[in-house]
Amino acid sequence: MRYRLVIFDWDGTLMDSESRIVTCMQAAARDVGWGELSRESVRDIIGLGLPEAIARLCPGIADDQARMLRERYAHHFVSADQQPMSFFPGVEAGVARLRQNPDIRLAVATGKSRRGLERVFAANGSGDWFHASRTADETRSKPHPQMLEELLAELDVEVGEAVMVGDTEYDLDMARALGMDRAAVTYGVHTVERLERSQPVFVAGSFAELIDWLHQ
């Protein structure tokens, strides 16, 4: 096994949540009178913490309107939970394969809130897969590396023994800032060309391909 610690992004890397994030953010923007947000503009901010995402999507937005937008986004997202989201193909089997090795630690570093991550953990029982997790509302948002620094400290792993796996430049640049290895997956929201600018050590077209590489 290449690493002692594998850190996964959530949305766009493990879970196929792009469509829900986009539609909920678009609905929230309409609710607060901001107007229509394009699908591509919302896809671009997936992975950031919600305040940072809104600031990028809606430059110049007033504080009160931004607060209302966050509230409406959360409302739409929770309301949509009646239709469970799915993991990408191969994720459940791939994570189970990693968990067979008692020397490997698994973690999540996500732009979701703690409440949102715990909600999805409870919905599909995936919380038991991971030894630790960090969310954007309890530390600094990507691409700042603080959440990775905290995970390394909590799990007592050196930076050279860990890899960050993600589908956006925010994931990869967070790891790059620490000198941590980073692996990109191309089935998420950012293009291969954009991911490659962050100099990943590996680029996977599927989760199964990623798992095979990790086990080499």
Secondary-structure class of domain 18-82 per CATH:
mainly alpha
How far apart are the C-alpha atoms of 95 and 174, rounded to whole Å? 22
Look at residue 146 in the predicted model and tell me its pLDDT.
98
- What are the distances in angstroms from CA 21 to CA 86, 188, 192? 13, 13, 21
Look at residue 129 in the predicted model and tell me its pLDDT.
97
Topology, domain 5-16+85-214: Rossmann fold (3.40.50)
Mean pLDDT by 10 residues, the chain (216 residues): 95 96 96 95 93 95 96 92 87 97 97 93 94 96 97 98 98 98 97 97 98 95
Look at residue 130 in the predicted model and tell me its pLDDT.
98
Q: Are 165 and 174 in contact (CB under 8 A)?
A: no
Look at residue 83 in the predicted model and tell me its pLDDT.
76
Q: Are 57 and 45 in contact (CB under 8 A)?
A: yes
Look at residue 81 in the predicted model and tell me its pLDDT.
74
Look at residue 80 in the predicted model and tell me its pLDDT.
85
Q: Which residues pair with 164 in a beta bridge?
A: 7, 182
- 46: amino acid identity, one letter: I
Domain map (residue ranges) of the chain: 5-16+85-214, 18-82
